[in-house]
Amino acid sequence: MADYKKPLPRPTATSMPFWQAAKRHELQIQHCGKCGAHIFYPRDVCPECFASDLQWVTVSGKGTVYSYTIARAPTHPAFADDVPYVIAIVELAEGPRITTNLVGCKLEEVRVGMPVQATFEDVTPEVTLVKFRPV
Amino acid sequence: MSIKGKAAIIGFAEMAPQKGNGDKTPLGIISEVARAAIADAGLEKRDIDGLLTGMAIGDYSVLWPSVVAEYLQLQPRYFNQVELGGASAAGMVWRAAAAIEAGMCHNVLCVLGDTRGTKATGTKPPPFPRLEAEFDAPYGLIAANPGYALIARRHMYEFGTTPEQMAKVAVDQRKNACKNPAALFGDKEITIDDVLNSRLIVDPLHLLEIVSPCTGGGAFIVTSAERAKRAPHRPVYLLGAGEAGGHCGITRARSLTTSLVKPAAQAAFAMAGVTPQDMDFVQPYDCYTITVIITLEDAGFCKKGEGGRFVWEHDLTYKGDFPCNTHGGQLSFGQPGLAGGMSHVIEAVRQLMGRGGERQVKGATIGYVNGNGGIMSEQCSLVLGVQ
C-alpha cells in the first residue's frame, strides 16, 4: 500500500469527520436540523436553507447506481493498472449523490438503477475510500 | 432595459488549429488574432477601449487581463477575464454589449488563445477545483471525459438514446469540416461505423465522439449598434443572451440529462423575441456528441429525450435541413484549450456576414450559439442576427 499512486483526498476541517468515519468503515454525512436535508459533500452551512445547524449522522450505506462509465482508457495515468474500472454516481437512499467506484461485480452486470451497498477500501494507512458493491 | 440589438460583432479572426503544442505561446496567438480581428472590423488599435479575455491553460497566472493588455499595449477603460470554461467566448458577447450600453467603452476586443499544453511557456496548468480533487479524483472522475460518459449513460437509460444516434453528430459535423480548410480533421468523411469502431475511451463514448485538444485561438470585436453602421462587413447584432450555472462537478448537478442550457436558452430566445424554430442554423458547443443532443433538447429544438432521434432524422450539414456546427464543430475543427468555445461564436458571425464560403448556409439571417463550460456547468446561449 505504500506505493499507492492514485489521487488521495486531502481532508479539511469541514470534511474531516467524513473521512474519519470512513476509516472506521462507517458512512457519515451531514443532516440539516432546520430543513431536514441530507448533505454531501460536507459543508459549513446547509446549501438548501443556509442554516448552520448541521449534524453528522451515520447513514444506511444503501443506494442505487444513478449512472456509470466503464473507463477503458485510464482517466489519469495512475489508474492505468486498474483498466477497465467502473466510475459511478450512486444516489444514496437518503438522497445525496456520491462519486465512487463499483467493485465486486462483473462489468457486464453493471446497470443504472442497480441497488448497491457501501464498502470500505483502506487504500493507505491513513485513507479509506468509500466504494459500492451490488447488494 | 435590455441589450437586445444594442451592440454588434463587426469583425473577427481565427487561427487554424494546430496539432500539438507548436512553438507558439497563448500570448503570441492572442496578439496575432487580435491584430487581424481589429483590422477585419476596419478599426485601429487605438480604437480598442475594452478588453475581455479568458484563462489560458498554456499560460496560467493571476491578473491575466492586465498581462494581455500589457502585451498588446492596450489601455482599456473596461477589462476583465471571463472564466466560464468553454462558455467564455459566448459569455464575452453579452458582457461586451452590456459594458458598451452602460457607457463604459466603445469597442471591445474579445480574445482567447491557448496551447495544447505548457511546453511553450514552461508554466503550470491551472489546477482542478479542490473539492473535485477531494471527492471525485480519488475514484478516477477526473477532467471531462468520464463526466460526459456518465451523462451519456444516464441519457441512454432514461430515453433510449443509442450509440448510433450519438455517432451521427460526429459524422454530419465531419462533412461540414471537409468544407473548412482550417479544420484539424477536415480531410476525410467518416461513417457511423467508423465512429462506433473507434476505440471506446470511457464507455459509452468512443474516440471519435471526443474532442481533440490542440493549439489555436480567435478574436472578435463588439461595438455599439450605432458605430456598427460604419463597419466594413455586415454587422451581426446580439439579439438575445442568457446564462445559467449552479454546479461544477457533475455528481452535484441537479440532473444529468436536463441541463442548464434550458434556462440559458429560454432567456436568450425571450430577449430576442423569437423561437428556436426561427433559427437558420445552430452552433452548439460540442465537446462530445452527447453535448449536442442534450443542448438541442434543452434549447427547445426538439422535446426532452428526443434529441437522439432528432439528430438521426435531420441532416446537420451546412446544406441540410438543420445546419449544425457548420465549421465542423470542435469534434472536427479542434478544441484549442480554453479557447474552444470561440469557434462556435466566430462561425455564427461568419455565416451571418455571408462569409461562409463553400459551407455558407444560404440566406442565413439569424442563428443560435451555445457555449458550454466544464461538465455542463456553465451555459451561455446567444441569438445573433443581421438586419
Contacts of B205 in chain A (CB under 8 A): 69
Please state the ipTM of this predicted complex. Answer: 0.98
Which cell numbers hold the place of B332? 472536427
Q: Who among B201, B204, B256 is closest to A73 (CB)?
A: B201
β-sheet bridge partners, residue A88: A68, A100
Query: What is the per-residue pLDDT for B323?
Result: 98
Q: Who among A68, A73, A98 is closest to B150 (CB)?
A: A68
Query: What is the per-residue pLDDT for A42?
Result: 98
Q: Do A73 and B199 touch (CB under 8 A)?
A: yes
> Directed axis angle between helix B144-159 and helix B289-298, to 10°?
50
Over 80: is that where the pLDDT of A1 sits? no
Question: Of B94, B64, B96, which is closest to residue B81 (Cα–Cα)?
Answer: B64
Query: What is the per-residue pLDDT for B134?
Result: 98
Q: Do A97 and B251 touch (CB under 8 A)?
A: yes
| Residue B258 contacts A, CB cutoff 8 Å | no
Task: Give the residue from chain A lying closest to B146, CA to CA.
Answer: A69
Over 60: is that where the pLDDT of A37 sits? yes
Contacts of A131 in chain B (CB under 8 A): 139
Q: Which residues have C-beta within 8 Å of that of residue B310, sequence separation ≥ 6? A: B293, B296, B297, B301, B302
Q: Mean pLDDT of all residues in chain A?
A: 97
Contacts of B375 in chain A (CB under 8 A): none
**Distance (Å, rounded) from C-alpha B341 to C-alpha B288?**
13
Query: What is the per-residue pLDDT for B387?
Result: 84
pLDDT in tens, A67-88: 999 999 999 999 999 999 999 9
Query: What is the per-residue pLDDT for B301?
Result: 98
Query: What is the per-residue pLDDT for A93?
Result: 98
| Residue B196 contacts A, CB cutoff 8 Å | no
Torsion of CA B319, B321, B324, B327, to 10 degrees: 0
- Across chain B, which has 387 residues, the per-10-residue mean pLDDT values are 95 94 90 98 98 96 98 98 98 98 98 93 94 98 98 98 98 98 97 98 98 96 98 98 98 98 98 98 98 98 98 98 98 93 98 98 98 98 96
| Residue B141 contacts A, CB cutoff 8 Å | yes
Q: What are phi and psi of B108, to 5 degrees?
A: -105, 125
Which cell numbers hold the place of B65? 487581463
Q: Who among B143, B154, B256 is closest to A75 (CB)?
A: B143
Within 10 A of B122 (CB to CB), how many other CB atoms are there? 7
Whether B271 contacts B260, CB under 8 Å = no
At residue A2 the predicted structure's pLDDT band, cuts being 50, 70 and 90, is low
| Residue B375 contacts A, CB cutoff 8 Å | no
- Tell me which residues of chain A have a C-beta less than 8 Å from any C-beta of chain B: 6-12, 15, 41, 66-76, 79, 82, 84-85, 87-89, 97-101, 112-113, 127, 129, 131
Q: What are phi and psi of A11, to 5 degrees?
A: -60, 150
C-alpha distance across the termini of chain B, in Å: 21
